[in-house]
């Protein structure tokens, strides 16, 4: 039962709303006296079903205790978001009684700057809530361009590539990630497939997605991702069509030759007519596989044809 003393301590402000401004001065907070007031319903229960979902919510148990990690992926500034984020944290704390932390991840520098602001909720003289998100943007995660470094932390490398997907460094990060994934043991193939799928999603429709697509085409037998399966299906279809006319080997070779030319063109490497004919005219799939791997990093066709032994095979 609510006691009469409880009632008195809040009802006095109903009787004289201006009392708040006078009493708050003792707290060092200066509020202007109200010109008018409107008494609202004290029932804060939702009057209609309202679904609110945080992108990811994890309970993190550490040596120093537990906390909740709420992760939000934000693609655009939204003036409504700070209120939603504050609701998520307050509700999660009320439900689980575990202190919450909000992490906002943005792949755009401007969006990250917006999200990293401190959001004060309440009147200027005394905000009752202050929202302080932790924000990860392109400038907050390092570029991981070394295969050895990528192998030490593949999830961080995936995040690095996703956040830097529009940067010139994206190519180097993806190459390092591909090499690290290929170095995993057969027992880790399902884990690799998971990160490959996440990488495909994280790159969206940026040019980096095409680079990743061609990286996946280098060794289709290892990868089981959606992109790899699509490329494998395309290759098998093309092989069957070409196989009817010229044989399966020739069909596979032609598909690889086209992949080499597409990748070089995408990376801006100049290909002379003579070099183009040499690539298209190569009928050895193994040689073309080597050329395709070199095309991922080569700055000229001379680097693609670097090995004299392989050049002899190609001729």
Q: CA 248 to CA 241: how far, in whole Å?
A: 8
End-to-end CA distance of the chain: 94
299 vs 131, which has greater pLDDT?
131
Q: What is the reported pLDDT for 114?
A: 92
Q: CA 89 to CA 25: how far, in whole Å?
A: 30
Q: What is the reported pLDDT for 228?
A: 52
Averaged pLDDT for residues 71-77 = 86
Which runs of consecutive H residues, i.e. helices, occur in 183-267? 189-203, 207-217, 226-245, 248-266
Q: CA 173 to CA 170: how far, in whole Å?
A: 5
Residue 68: in which H helix or E strand, if any? strand 65-73
The DSSP symbol for 227 reads H
**Burial status of residue 273 (CB atoms within 10 A of its CB: 0-12, 13-18, 19 or more):** exposed
Q: Give ∠ CA 141-56-148 in degrees, rounded to 5.
A: 35
Q: What is the reported pLDDT for 315?
A: 39
Rounded to 10°, the helix 248-266/226-245 angle is: 130
Averaged pLDDT for residues 104-121 = 91
Averaged pLDDT for residues 220-248 = 50
Q: What is the pLDDT of residues 27-39, one digit of tens each?
A: 787 878 888 877 7
Q: Is the whole model's pTM more than 0.75, yes or no?
A: no
Do 223 and 235 form a contact (C-beta atoms < 8 A)? no
Instruction: Using the CB atoms, write b or e for 7-16: b if 16+ within 10 Å.
Output: eeeeeeeeee
Q: What is the reported pLDDT for 309?
A: 43
Chain center to CA of 257: 32
The rounded percent of the chain whose pLDDT value lies above 90 is 16
Q: What is the reported pLDDT for 216?
A: 78
Query: Nearest to residue 220, comparing CAs of 289, 139, 151?
Result: 289
138 vs 226, which has greater pLDDT?
138
Residue 60: in which H helix or E strand, if any? strand 56-62
Q: What residues have CB less than 8 Å from 9, skipping those under 6 apart?
A: none
Chain center to CA of 287: 35
Residue 130: in which H helix or E strand, if any? strand 129-131
Q: CA 163 to CA 214: how far, in whole Å?
A: 20
> In angstroms, what CA-CA distances link 272 with 122, 257, 267, 275?
66, 15, 15, 5
Q: What is the pLDDT of residues 174-230, one digit of tens each?
A: 999 988 988 886 667 778 888 888 888 888 888 898 888 888 776 434 555 555 555
> What's the token pair of residue 148?
């050895």
Q: What is the reported pLDDT for 26?
A: 79
């Amino acid at each position: 039962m609510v006691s009469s003393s409880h009632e008195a301590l809040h009802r006095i402000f109903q009787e004289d709303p201006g009392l708040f401004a006078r009493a708050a001065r003792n707290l060092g907070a200066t509020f202007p006296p109200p010109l008018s007031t409107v008494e609202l319903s004290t029932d804060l229960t939702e009057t209609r079903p309202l679904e609110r979902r945080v992108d990811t919510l994890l309970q993190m148990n550490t040596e120093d205790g537990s906390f909740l990690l709420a992760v939000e992926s934000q693609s655009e500034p939204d003036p409504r978001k700070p209120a939603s984020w504050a609701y998520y944290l307050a509700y999660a704390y009320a439900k689980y009684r575990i202190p919450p932390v909000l992490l906002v991840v943005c792949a755009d520098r401007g969006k990250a700057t917006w999200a990293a602001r401190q959001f004060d909720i309440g009147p200027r003289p005394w905000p009752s809530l202050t929202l302080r998100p932790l924000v990860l943007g392109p400038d907050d995660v390092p570029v991981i361009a070394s295969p050895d470094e990528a192998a030490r932390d593949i999830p961080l490398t995936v995040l690095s590539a996703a956040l830097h997907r529009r940067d010139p460094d994206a190519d180097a990060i993806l190459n390092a990630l591909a090499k690290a994934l290929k170095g995993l043991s057969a027992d880790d193939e399902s884990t690799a497939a998971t990160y490959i799928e996440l990488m495909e999603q994280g790159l969206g429709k940026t040019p980096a997605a095409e680079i990743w697509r061609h990286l996946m085409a280098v060794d289709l037998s290892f990868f089981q991702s959606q992109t790899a399966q699509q490329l494998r299906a395309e290759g098998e279809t093309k092989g069957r069509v070409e196989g009817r006319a010229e044989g399966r080997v020739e069909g596979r070779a032609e598909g690889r030759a086209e992949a080499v030319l597409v990748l070089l063109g995408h990376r801006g490497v100049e290909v002379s007519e003579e070099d183009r004919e040499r690539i298209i005219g190569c009928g050895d799939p193994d040689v073309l596989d080597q050329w395709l791997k070199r095309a991922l990093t080569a700055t000229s066709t001379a680097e693609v044809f670097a090995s004299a032994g392989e050049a002899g095979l190609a001729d």
